[in-house]
């Protein structure tokens, strides 16, 4: 699911990977306005990970593809 999440995030030109995705962890640079969107939907991204720093997103062993799609759809809203 890490690869699916990584590929989905790369569809947005203002989001960039900090490191290649090799497993279930995705290190990505996300603008503050998108972080605010995630936080308003119940996710918690720490203040010290905002802007110009990589955010670590982790897909658990039981993450379903629909969970990844729901997460990515927050960006579209």
The distance in angstroms from the start CA to the end CA of the chain is 22
Strand partners, 25: 58
**C-alpha closest to that of 9 among 64, 40, 55:** 55
pLDDT of residue 53: 78
How far CA 22 is from CA of 10, 37, 49, 56, in Å, comes to: 15, 26, 21, 13
> Tell me, what DSSP letter sits at residue 47?
G
CATH number at residue 39: 3.90.1150.10
pLDDT digits (tens, 9 = 90+) for 31-55: 888 888 999 999 988 766 555 678 8
Report the number of distinct structural domains present in the chain. Answer: 1
- Which structural domain, as residue segments, surrounds residue 15? 2-76
The CA distance from 50 to 13, in Å, is 17
pLDDT of residue 46: 74
């Amino acid at each position: 699911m890490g690869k699916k999440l990584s590929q989905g995030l790369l569809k947005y030109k203002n989001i960039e990977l900090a490191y290649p995705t090799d497993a279930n962890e995705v290190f990505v640079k996300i603008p503050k306005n998108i972080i605010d969107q995630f936080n308003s939907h119940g996710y918690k991204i720490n203040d010290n990970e905002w802007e110009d720093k990589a955010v670590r997103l982790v897909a658990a062993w039981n993450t379903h593809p629909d969970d990844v799609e729901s997460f990515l759809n927050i960006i579209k809203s």
